[in-house]
Amino acid sequence: MESSKGLAAIILAGCVAVLGGALLFEHVGGLAPCVLCLWQRWPWWVAGAIAALSLVLPPVRRRAGPFLPLLFALIFAGSFLLAAYHVAVEQHWVAGPATCSAPLSGARTLADFQRMIVDRPVVRCDEVPWALFGISLAGFNAIFSLLLAALALRTAGRLRQGSAR
């Protein structure tokens, strides 16, 4: 990738594909996201918004210069770390946040407990509801995030080499 415009276009397409896929899995496939799944969407929303703005408003891209690819690299490095953490939770290597497990306290009667379960179903972060070739959605997120972070760093390096000439 030789330009930040091309990088922004690829990132925007990637964000549309990843977020669109996540929303399809959720709303069409009926696969409810856990808390970590929802957190993992934020870097993609942020990167997509920045990419769209840089494509629609060329002065934003020009002012950002070589910092735009570095910003994308930082966003996707963070996205990779969050997705890798989720994979570690799925594999039971580390404990997930408390919001990823069903609340077991607070109910004073059986009716209270039943209401808690019905009113607030909890999607566990440490269970893999869908996988392809043994890779969960969090695993795919980690792979895609790492690829885009590497592409952004490569673009930043090429832009830096081009400006040093």
Please state the rounded mean pLDDT for residues 82-104. 82
Residue 36 domain flag: yes
In a domain, 104, yes or no: no
Kindly write down the DSSP assignment for every residue of the chain, as one continuous string. ---HHHHHHHHHHHHHHHHHHHHHHHHTS-----HHHHHHHHHHHHHHHHHHHHHH-HHHHHHHTTHHHHHHHHHHHHHHHHHHHHHHHHTTSS---GGGS---SS--SHHHHHHHHHHS----TTS-S-EETTEEHHHHHHHHHHHHHHHHHHHHHHHHHHHH-
In a domain, 83, yes or no: yes
Query: What is the domain extent for residue 147?
Result: 4-98+125-159
- For residue 116, being part of any structural domain is answered with no
Q: Name the band, by pLDDT with cuts 50, 70 and 90, for residue 93.
A: very high
In a domain, 105, yes or no: no
What's the CATH number where 151 sits? 1.20.1550
Q: Does some domain include residue 49?
A: yes
Predicted pLDDT of residue 42: 96
Decide if 111 is inside a domain.
Answer: no
Query: Model confidence over 95-137: pLDDT tens digits?
Result: 888 777 555 455 577 776 566 555 556 678 888 888 889 899 9
For residue 22, being part of any structural domain is answered with yes
Kindly report, residue by residue over 19-71, the tens digit of the pLDDT.
Answer: 999 999 989 988 888 889 999 999 999 999 999 998 998 776 666 667 899 99
State how far the Cα of 22 lies from the Cα of 41, in Å rounded to an integer: 8
pTM: 0.81
State the total domains in the chain. Answer: 1
